[in-house]
Structures are given as C-alpha cells and as structure tokens.
Structure 1
C-alpha cells in the first residue's frame, strides 16, 4: 500500500447542495462521462423500510449533497442509477441498494462496491470505510455524526462534512483498486463480484423465498415447511403493509413453532412458545387461516431449508477449504470472498463431480484464482461420491 495514491478532493466550503431538480440534472449532465461516487443516509429504527434522509454525490472532484425530495423528482438521476454503462461507486452498498429499490422502485445497475474491490485488491476482508481511508490516505474520519438525525433540516455543518467524507474518497479509492486489480490480472473481478452481491441481495428480498433464511426450520418435514413458508410470506406482507420490523410483528422462532404445532384454534395458538397474547388478539384469525390453507393445499416447497452438513460432508468441507485457502493466499484475496461458506456448502450438497463441474467456482475471477487447485478439488469430490 506504499505506492503513490490518487489525490483526494477537498470538502467544499460553499455550494455543497444541489437544491433543485434543474441543478441536479445539470450537475449530472456535466459529469456524465465520469464514474459517480454515491452514498445515502437514512433512518430505520422502528420501520420495515428505510426512510431516505440524504443523497451524497461525487464526480470529477465535485462533491454535492441532495435532498431526497429533489433526487426522487429528477428523471436523469433515476436514469443514471439504472444505466449499466455508467459506473456508480459505493462502499458496502447493501443498505443503499435496498433503499433505492424501495424508495425509487428501480433496480440500480453498474454498481461497483469498493469494499469488495479493496478486498480483492489486498486490503483485507470486510474492512470498514473509515479504517481503509485512514490506512490508505492517512486521514482520520470524524464518525460522531453517524447516528445523528438525517431527516432534520437544516443539517449541521458537522453532519454535512461527515456526509461529504463518505463520498470524498470513493473516486481515489476506485483508481487505487483498479490499478491493483490490473496488476493482479483481475480487472473484471470488481464488476463481477459487485453484480453477484447485488443479485444475491435481490434474491433474498423475495417474500416467497424468505422462509429459507429461517435456518432453525430445517428439522420440519416438507409439509410443515410449506406452512412455515406461508407464515413467513404473511409476515413479510404484514410488515410491509404496516412498515414495521419483522420482530415487531412476530419473531422467527414463533413462526417455526406455529408451523411445528399446527394450531387450529386461538387457545392452541396462544400455547405456542413466543406467541404473545397481543398477537393472538390482533392476528390470530389470520394466522389460523394461513395454517389451515397451507395444510389444505397439500403442497410442499420446491426448495427445502438447508440441513446442516453431515459429518462426512463436514470433513470434505474442511479438506476442500484448505485447497481454497492455499489458492486465496497465493492470489492475496480473502478466502471468505473466494469461497463463501454458503456457496461451498451448496457445492457439497449439489455437486456434480462426475462431470467435474464446480458450478459457482468455475466462473469468472474465481475460476482464474482456483485454477491451480481445481483438479485436486474435483478429485476430492469424486472420492466422496465413490465412497457414498
């Protein structure tokens, strides 16, 4: 990290805000050929959906703040977010992506998550923005405004500077990351991994698949997992309708308990652990109807909740993980990024060693990094298949 670093733009003393749609439109037009540094501030304490509080933008050394009421009315802003050819630079973009999907009802494209990029460039796995900025650029960020009220107006000078700092280093960091990735022959890895991350987040947001996150439900037989699936869909819809966090409606263990006990009256529902009386009074009839209809459907989910790995699978997991650790160390990338646990477990459950197909690990930058270990991994899978 001692190579020459790109310069960092200063925080503007004046003209920090784009206060009208015309100003935002003109600014975006004037920087259309440059990557767009992007961040948001929002509130989410007692709501299901995040409430936008501020949008921060940067391009060509120009740093700006935009009120959400201005951004949402700007057609060019929406078009820019949806433009796959225009790079948008973010850091740890998960919550920002969720905000854009709900607030603007669009699927952003061309997103580049520089937390992922910096990990691929050798800066470490899941490093916080402030820590990386200090490590690379020698500037300590003031984080005192992190949990301040972003819906208040006017914002304090400290809030404005905090918000501008969140985009001020993104362009220089992007140049640093791309240079390092080019040196490693991983030029396409940043876009590949950002796209994968965004796609995974989108898949996790589908109400019909939300039951798969309730890992404690794996012990339920398929017909009860169908009930659990219906209950989770009901909760997702209720939380969205009421704009309340999931646990404010009904916690995961209670849903699993209802699916297991299959109550058919209010008394039986009240006897399920974790179901408070207020839930029985407010939602009892709905929950009993959901259970009844799911049972009467006679259906089972097409995908069941993942079971824990068997002991032989756990042993194979450790052996394959060693190979992937070697490959990760050789390429100086985090093994957590190269071999996400969920993906490696899926390979062991669904692997097709007869065809030598490593699926997820045979695509893009992972195939390149794992090339030296691939034959050994396939051999381990084939040995396990033959043993089974």
Structure 2
C-alpha cells in the first residue's frame, strides 16, 4: 500500500493559529505552564535541532502544546526544568509527537532520558488507513485543509533571534497534534486499534533506545552478513569502537570511517597498520592515528575464534524466494483486509526472519495487536512456513 490518502475523510476543524507568540523564558515559567492543565492532558511536543557535522543532535528549540495553548522554549530553559524532565519520563502522561524517532534520540542524548508514554501520531495515521509514513504537511492538508508554510524548514535553528516566520513554523508543528490525536482516537476505536497505537508507539520507542548500544550497531551493517563468524566478531568490535570514538569526538560516523571500510577491514583482518592502510576508505591519517587500536581489536576477535552472540541476518536463499512471496501475499491480504499498510504490519526484515526461523512462535513483534489480526490466518501462515 502506498501513501495514497484514504477516501471519504471527513474534514476536521483546524485549531486557530495563536494571535501572539509566547516564549517560556525561565524553568519556573515552563513548570507553571505544564501545571496549568490536568496531568493527564496530552502534551503536544516537537523539537528543532541541527546535526550537520556532529554525532549528537544539537537542540535548537522545544515546542509545546496543551489544548489550544502553544509555547516556545529555549533548550537551556527546558534542560534546567525538573518538571519538564519528570513530564517526559512519566508513562502515565501522554506525549504526542509526529515521526518521533529523531526527537526521542535528541532527548536521550541531550537530557539523558528516554521519554515514556509517547504516542507517535504518524503510526496512528497508518493504523487509521491513511497510508504508510505520511508526512506531517500532507496530514495537515488532508485532515484540516491547511497548507503549511515550509519556507523555514531548513532554517538555522541555533541562530538567534528567530524570525517570526521561523517561530510560526515551529508552532504549527505542535498546533495540529492534539486535534489529530482526538480524530485518531475516534477512528481507531471504531476499528478496534486504539490499543495498537499505544502498543506500537511504545515498542518503537523501546527499539529506538536499544539502538544506542554501541555493541549492537554492527547489526545495522547488513552488508556484513557474508563475513565468517570471526569476521563478524571483528566487525562488531570495530563498529563499537567507531561508535564510542565518534561519541567522544562528537563527529559523524562516516567522517571517521564509512561502513564499507569497516566491512572491508573485517573481511581482510589485517595484522599490521601497514596492511590496514592499504584498504579502500582508510586514509593515511586514520591509519596513523587509529591503526594500532583497530589492529588490536582485530587480533582480539581472531584470538577469540568465534562469532558474536547475534550474527547479521543473511538474505534469503534463492530456493526460499517462492515461499517468501507466498508468505508476503498472506500478510498483504491481512493488511488490505484491515486497511493497514503492510510495511507497518509486516516489514520485510521481520518477514525474512520469520521465514528463516520457519515459525511465528517466539517472535514478540507478531504478538499483541498484530497477533489478534493474524489469528484467523495462522494455519495458512504455518502451511507456507512448513509445507
């Protein structure tokens, strides 16, 4: 299913743009704003940040909404406000975001906490039948009939003062979240998927937080699947080293060593700095500065003589492709019957893992709301997996 808008969407009344732009200039003012509505009132939340030459995103602005009240907050004020931290960490107080992955990453690294009780409304739009990964501007146009001004999209959010256009743009990013949430609750309740929105948002947030582990980052380098076990152990060690070094120096990963170079190093397993320097993607400067550390990790993997606890999943062998197509067809039919994008219901990587294991059993991803939708087709799925 593509992102074509579902037909017969009743228009939703757009919340009025605020007549004035209000900043919260002190931690106390931010705390007072958060206390101005009952604790279970959903908090609309967004951030602006910069990340062009750093490992960590640099906070530029925080936008908040409670009901029809919207505020802008300087990062220094948000950082110093204990009530804001507590609100983010409280699972009983819902936080409304849209396409939340980068916002959550910012909070993890900037404030040192993983927000709880988050609701990703982009996931909600997919569950509501509006298509997979619908952009925010298109959502606003579809539901509210408003066209957002995108002229400030690529603004410098670290510069001050922000122009009025930037501030209006930032407020628009939270202005439509709470009414979207109300619309989604009504629509998903009628489809029996309201719990799914909460489940899926929480699962996604937990997965994002788990990706911060440097020792697991090698699993993202899918091209390393062909390495032998010891090579994958070397890749794990090399990738973890790069993660920590880039964090220490606050620099982008590829500026230090690109993924392809790490895979090449793990494939060749060089025993010396001289041999390392001959690998494509390893500059003479990198070899001089870090060669000993890289070779040391390679030798440790070689001495251990075994692979990592979890290896990189290989692509499906050719002989399994026909049955994989059958499995995809079963899941696609279920998705179409429930008007949910198959990309959300059963991402390809998840389906490949099911095919390789030969069973759905033991896979938490296909439990919960997915398990309920799959229940009528379990026998058919098993037939495909175990012909």
Confirm or deny a common fold (TM above 0.5).
Answer: yes
Show the 5 A alignment for 1:97-136. Answer: 97-136=104-143
Specify the alignment match of 1:18 in structure 2: 24
Query: Cα distance, 1:114 vs. partner?
Result: 0.4
Maintained 8 Å contact 2:9/2:143: no
Aligned with 1:302 (options 293, 302, 309): 309
Maintained 8 Å contact 2:91/2:116: yes
Aligned-partner Cα distance in 1 for 2:321–2:297: 37
Query: Cα distance, 1:15 vs. partner?
Result: 4.7
Compared CA separation, residues 361 and 148, structure 1 to 2 (3 A): closer
Maintained 8 Å contact 2:21/2:167: no
Compared CA separation, residues 293 and 357, structure 1 to 2 (3 A): closer
Compared CA separation, residues 361 and 281, structure 1 to 2 (3 A): closer
Query: Cα distance, 1:351 vs. partner?
Result: 3.3
Query: Cα distance, 1:382 vs. partner?
Result: 2.1
| Partner deviation per Cα, 1:134-184 (whole Å, 9 max, x = no partner) | 011000001111111101111100000000000000001101111110111
Specify the alignment match of 1:163 in structure 2: 170
Maintained 8 Å contact 2:232/2:266: yes
Segment of structure 1 superposing worse, 364-373 or 332-341: 364-373
Specify the alignment match of 2:245 in structure 1: 238
Aligned with 1:67 (options 53, 71, 74): 74
| Partner deviation per Cα, 1:52-110 (whole Å, 9 max, x = no partner) | 00000001110110000000111110000011011100000000010000000011100
Query: Cα distance, 1:266 vs. partner?
Result: 2.2
Maintained 8 Å contact 2:51/2:58: yes
Maintained 8 Å contact 1:6/1:175: no
Specify the alignment match of 2:383 in structure 1: 379
Q: What is the total number of aligned residue pairs between the two structures?
A: 380
Maintained 8 Å contact 1:343/1:360: no
SS in 1 for 2:47: strand
Aligned with 1:312 (options 314, 319, 344): 319
| Partner deviation per Cα, 1:184-239 (whole Å, 9 max, x = no partner) | 11120101111111122122221111111111111111011111111001100100
Maintained 8 Å contact 1:11/1:63: no
Show the 5 A alignment for 1:1-388. Answer: 2=8, 4-31=10-37, 32-352=39-359, 357=361, 359-360=363-364, 362-383=366-387
Aligned-partner Cα distance in 2 for 1:261–1:325: 41
CA RMSD of the aligned region, Å? Answer: 1.5
The answer for unaligned runs of 5 or more in structure 1 is: 384-388
The answer for unaligned runs of 5 or more in structure 2 is: 1-6
Aligned-partner Cα distance in 2 for 1:215–1:255: 12
Structure 1 outlier segments of 4+, above 3 Å:
1-8
For normalisation by structure 2, the TM-score amounts to 0.95
